[in-house]
Amino acid sequence: MADVTIRKIPAHIVYRAEYDVNSLMDFFNPETDENELYDLQLEMEADNPGVTVPEIGEDYNYFGYPVRRNADGTMHVIYSDLVDKMGSDSPSDSYRFFEVPEVTAACYMHQGPFDSFEEGFAVVMDWLKANGYETEGKGRLSAIHGPWDRENEAEYVNECQIIIKAD
């Protein structure tokens, strides 16, 4: 049986950006160590000097799931990154701030390349059906390990979270 856990994810504040990409790996260039999502964080912090993203280990960011495929085959994804307080939306419209309510989620740690994340969500959905849970709202994909700290894609870890109805 899959190792799925149920947990509450506390209310939080995020800045959020939307992208059309071929793959989640489009955000990262392992050869140059470029990370488009980190560049977005630097932009947000420059625009909002009093707003900070928690240090690694305390941070929380995620892609909303399910992603939507566009007519050209790209994925439309929504990226959210935890911050300590509300700030001002981007002057260039590259991100916006949101308050996210507390949710209860079924969570599963999926190991493997980013492009295999749908397998992790399938595991959670099967577990939910087998255990009589109902979904409520969209799921989230939170990257724990990736190209910023692992060289081998087989070692990437994503937490697949599906929001469920609370008891």
Give the model's pLDDT for residue 57: 66
pLDDT digits (tens, 9 = 90+) for 117-159: 889 999 999 999 999 999 997 889 998 998 888 989 999 999 9
Q: Which residue has the tokens 């071929």?
A: 22
Segments forming the whole domain that contains residue 17: 5-164
Q: What local confidence, expressed as pLDDT, does residue 29 receive?
A: 82
Q: Where are the beta strands (DSSP E) in 22-102?
A: 28-29, 34-35, 61-65, 68-69, 75-83, 96-100
- Of the candidates 72, 73, 100, the residue with the CA atom closest to the CA atom of residue 12: 100
What would the pLDDT profile of 54-109 be if each residue is shown by its tens digit? 886 677 899 987 666 788 988 889 999 999 999 999 999 999 999 999 999 999 99
pLDDT at 124: 94
Q: Determine the pLDDT at residue 66.
A: 60
- Name the residue type at position 140: R
Contact 122, 162 (CB under 8 A): no
Domain holding 100: CATH number?
A: 3.20.80.10
**Across 41-47, average pLDDT:** 97
Residues in the chain, how many?
Answer: 167
What is the tens place of the pLDDT at every residue in 16-30?
999 999 888 899 887
**Total domains present in the chain:** 1
pLDDT at site 59: 77
pLDDT given for residue 89 in this prediction = 98
